[in-house]
């Protein structure tokens, strides 16, 4: 079976800046692929090229077998695209926005009525259908935007950081909808700066400075970490971080929540760290080995590339 989305050598420059650098990605049918990386990594530029809103300087991509360069009009009939910025009509109600988009996509009137009813229930917006879009919370706005993009039953969804500025509860609700859509046969290409969201994807591409630096399912990326991660709690984590970075056996150290994460090759480092911090007058509350998360792996990969 041909992959739903195929990206080949996709490249885009803005002056002297290479926003996307020779990108190669294949996304399997009926999966959620996460493009993960910090601001400026090239995620939005990639999305805009896939939607034929930007022309690449080199390379191309196919969505459902349609080429983004030569068959852009056909692609637009099969995708739903959510940009970062809320782009619906704030002075229209939820219902009016859905009706408007059904007309834009030329959904037959009878089919449109049933589809709108389904989408309102699907996104938990039935009781808010009379509200103006501008009156909705951030999470509701995103669910409305997604519903409008689903009105024509697209097989492919391209979502550019859809949960930015949305509270944690709304983020979970949004992702439940994405899981349901995938189970119903949709293929979803989503960009996000949130590592906890990336871990929910079937496959992720870790992106930095326009390049994919690692691509696999989240578990394989985490299991391939290859080092020991120590979680350190002390009475001065900021000073502790500065001190432990001086040690040759410490590969990296960074603050994580209320603790300090230290990357090392050996668990023997625990004893050395305790001695180092004690001599320096820092009270150590605990030092334990911790299971790495995708964020730990991503941070380490980026810093290793810089080194």
Domain boundaries, the chain: 5-222, 226-291
CA contacts within 13 A on the Cβ side of 29:
8
The pLDDT of 85-110, averaged and rounded, is: 89
Closest among 19, 21, 22 to 8, alpha carbons compared: 22
The pLDDT of 202-229, averaged and rounded, is: 92
- How far is residue 237's CA from residue 254's CA, in Å, rounded to a whole number? 9
Render pLDDT for 250-292 as a digit per residue (tens, 0 to 9): 989 999 888 999 999 889 889 999 999 999 999 999 999 999 9
Query: Per-residue confidence at 171, pLDDT binned at 50, 70, 90?
Result: confident
Question: Which superfamily, per CATH, for 5-222?
Answer: P-loop containing nucleotide triphosphate hydrolases (3.40.50.300)
Which pLDDT belongs to residue 88?
84
* CATH code given to domain 226-291: 3.30.70.980
Phi, psi dihedrals of residue 289, rounded to the nearest 5°: -70, 140
The pLDDT of 232-240, averaged and rounded, is: 94
Which pLDDT belongs to residue 24?
95
Q: Does residue 39 surpass a pLDDT of 90? A: no
288: Cβ–Cβ under 8 A, 6 or more apart, which residues? 230, 231
């Amino acid at each position: 079976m041909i992959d739903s989305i195929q990206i080949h050598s996709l490249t885009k420059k803005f002056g002297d800046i290479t926003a996307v650098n020779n990108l190669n990605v294949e996304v399997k049918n009926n999966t959620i692929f996460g493009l993960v990386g910090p601001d400026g990594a090239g995620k939005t530029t990639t999305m805009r090229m896939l939607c034929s809103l930007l022309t690449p300087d080199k390379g191309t991509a196919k969505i459902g077998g349609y080429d983004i360069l030569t068959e852009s009009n056909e692609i637009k009939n099969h995708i739903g695209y959510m940009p970062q910025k809320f782009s619906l009509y704030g002075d229209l109600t939820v219902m009016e926005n859905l009706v408007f988009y059904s007309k834009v996509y030329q959904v037959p009137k009878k089919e449109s009525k049933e589809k709108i009813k389904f989408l309102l229930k699907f996104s938990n917006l039935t009781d808010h259908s009379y509200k103006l879009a501008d009156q909705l919370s951030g999470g509701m706005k995103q669910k409305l935007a997604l519903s409008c993009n689903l009105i024509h039953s697209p097989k492919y969804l391209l979502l550019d950081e859809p949960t930015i500025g949305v509270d944690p509860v709304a983020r979970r609700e949004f992702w439940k909808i994405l899981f349901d859509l995938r189970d119903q046969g949709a293929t979803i290409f989503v960009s996000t700066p949130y590592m906890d969201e990336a871990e929910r994807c079937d496959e992720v591409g870790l992106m930095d400075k326009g390049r994919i630096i690692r691509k696999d399912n989240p578990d394989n990326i985490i299991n391939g970490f290859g080092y020991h991660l120590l979680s350190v709690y002390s009475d001065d984590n900021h000073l502790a971080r500065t001190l432990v970075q001086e040690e040759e056996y410490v590969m990296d150290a960074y603050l994580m929540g209320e603790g300090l994460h230290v990357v090392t090759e050996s668990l023997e480092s625990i004893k050395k760290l305790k001695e180092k911090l004690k001599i320096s007058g820092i009270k150590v509350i605990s030092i334990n080995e911790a299971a790495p998360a995708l964020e730990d792996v991503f941070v380490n990969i980026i810093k290793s590339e810089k080194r």
